[in-house]
Structures are given as C-alpha cells and as structure tokens.
Amino acid sequence: MSDFSLAMNLLFGSVHLILMAMAIPSIIYALYLLRKIANK
C-alpha cells in the first residue's frame, strides 16, 4: 500500500511540475499579447 501511495505521489508531483512549466510561458505570452493590444 505504501509503495502504491508513493507512486501516486510521484505521479501527481510530476504532473504538477509539468503543468507549472507549461503555465509560466503561457502567462508570459498572454501578457505580451495584452501589451500588443494595448499599444494599438
């Protein structure tokens, strides 16, 4: 049981890291688009 819960924790941890790594560039890109729209 402990091995299973450890595997699940590793799985959710890696998914969380991937989501964070994907969210940061998309936030930067969204801010860039907003500035382009505002400069018009």
pLDDT at 28: 97
pLDDT at 12: 95
Sign of CA dihedral 10, 15, 21, 24: negative
Question: SS3 for 8?
Answer: helix
pLDDT at 1: 67
Two structure tokens written together for 24:
């940061």
pLDDT at 40: 79
Instruction: Using a cut of 0.85, tell me whether the model's pTM lies above it.
Output: no
User: What distance in Å separates the CA atoms of residue 21 and residue 40, rounded to the nearest whole number?
Assistant: 30
Q: Please determine, for residue 14, whether its predicted confidence score (pLDDT) is greater than 80.
A: yes
User: What distance in Å separates the CA atoms of residue 9 and residue 14, rounded to the nearest whole number?
Assistant: 9
| Domain count along the chain | 1
Domain that holds residue 20: 1-40
Q: Please determine, for residue 6, whether its predicted confidence score (pLDDT) is greater than 90.
A: yes
